[in-house]
Amino acid sequence: MGNGSWSSALAKILTDNGHPIHWWMRSQEALEKLQSTSHNPHYLTSVSYNTSLIDLCSNLEEAIDKADIIIIGIPSAFVVDVLKGCPNNCFENKIVLSAIKGILPHENVLLNDYLSTHFQVDINRYGCISGPCHAEEVATEKLSYLTFASSNIEVSNETSALFENPYLHTIQSNDVFRVQYAAVLKNIYALGAGIAHGLDYGDNFLSVYITNCFSELQQFMDVISTQTQHHYNTSAYLGDLLVTCYSLHSRNRTFGNFIGKGYSVNAAKLELNMVAEGYFASKGIFEICEKMNYELPIVNCIYSILWKQQSAQLEFKKIENLCS
């Protein structure tokens, strides 16, 4: 489910591995273009798909009904709107995988919480896909790694096996809550890395900034999750944070760079022309922490820049002091 760069990359991996898929897209124009040219007209346009393995679907309910495993790759801000017309039993007996690296802004919850409340999805039939991985490198078959996490390790093992191939290695984890929150936080911190670059900070500061972000992320992991037994996954936490903060492919870093250079949020959105999950996530995590009476100082600074129009220069002076 979804037509963005990450959904397109996942579709490429599965079809490269010979697995037939049902691919739902909201855009009828994109669907028809893919059918006629074997290319997605908007994302990862260089990828040629084996359309004989793809059942292109314009009806979401039908697409869900046909599949055994549902991969949701819609940006978090739009998930509720997309699913609102579906019957509440549509995911019954399905395995659901989240390819969303954000929280749902309407309720500030992870996808599994939303699906449990509104669609009765059992947590033991739910998993998530995380990095460290960029869609653009998957498209060119550069060696990449994906983390598959589920409270039910059988789900992690079954789903990860579908993706394993010479250019894509997989890691399994039962740490589904922390893996998801880590993906949310790393996008916020990557926005900050981009802001720092736009403000003309150098690599020396950025290395200290990312180190402090990782420390803050670890502390939040321990507070937010009640799961007592988990496999601490360095690739999904530190690896994903590093690649998102440093890579030029990172849309969150790019979005932040525009902000650091003085663009308004609206101007940065127009310039990027893609969804930067960290923008919405910064507000969601800030509000979650407010309810918990818990503070994430770096996240607070980034939230203040993006949502309260505070000076990026002044907020990063605060971050300098936090990092000293």
Q: What is the 3-state secondary structure (H, E, C) of 139-184?
A: HCCCCEEEEEECCCHHHHHHHHHHHCECCEEEEEECCHHHHHHHHH
For residue range 307-320, what is the model confidence (pLDDT) as tens digits?
999 999 999 999 99
Position of tokens 């801000």?
Answer: 77
Instruction: In whole angstroms, give the CA distance from residue 252 to residue 195.
Output: 10
DSSP state of 78: G
Count CA atoms within 13 Å of residue 234 on its CB side.
0
Given this structure, which CATH class describes domain 5-174? alpha beta
Average pLDDT, the chain: 92
Q: How many residues are given for the chain? A: 324
CA gap 1, 271 in Å, rounded? 25
Residue 280: its pLDDT value, please?
A: 93
CB 306 within 8 A of CB 286: no
Residue 213's nearest CA partner among 282, 314, 260 is: 282
Task: Look up residue 313 and give its two tokens.
Answer: 């220069």
Do the beta carbons of residue 105 and residue 129 sit within 8 Å?
no
Give the closest residue to 201 by CA, choosing from 240, 241, 132, 256.
256
pTM for this predicted structure: 0.92
In whole angstroms, give the CA distance from residue 256 to residue 236. 22
178-323 classified as CATH 1.10.1040.10: yes
| Chain center to CA of 2 | 13
Exposure string over 118-134, b if 16+ CB within 10 A, otherwise e: ebebbbebbbbbbbbbb
- Please state the domain extents for the chain: 5-174, 178-323
Quote the CA–CA distance of 281 and 278 in Å, as a whole number: 5
- Checking if the pLDDT of 85 tops 90, the result is no
Mean pLDDT in residue range 74-87: 92
Cβ count near 179 (within 10 Å): 29
Q: How confident is the model at residue 229 (pLDDT cuts 50, 70, 90)?
A: very low
Q: Are 56 and 78 in contact (CB under 8 A)?
A: no
**235: confidence class by pLDDT, cuts 50, 70, 90:** low
| CB-CB contact of 239 with 183 (8 Å) | no
pLDDT at 225 over 80: no
Listing DSSP states for 189-217 in one string gives: HHHHHHHHHHTT--HHHHHHHHHHHHHHH
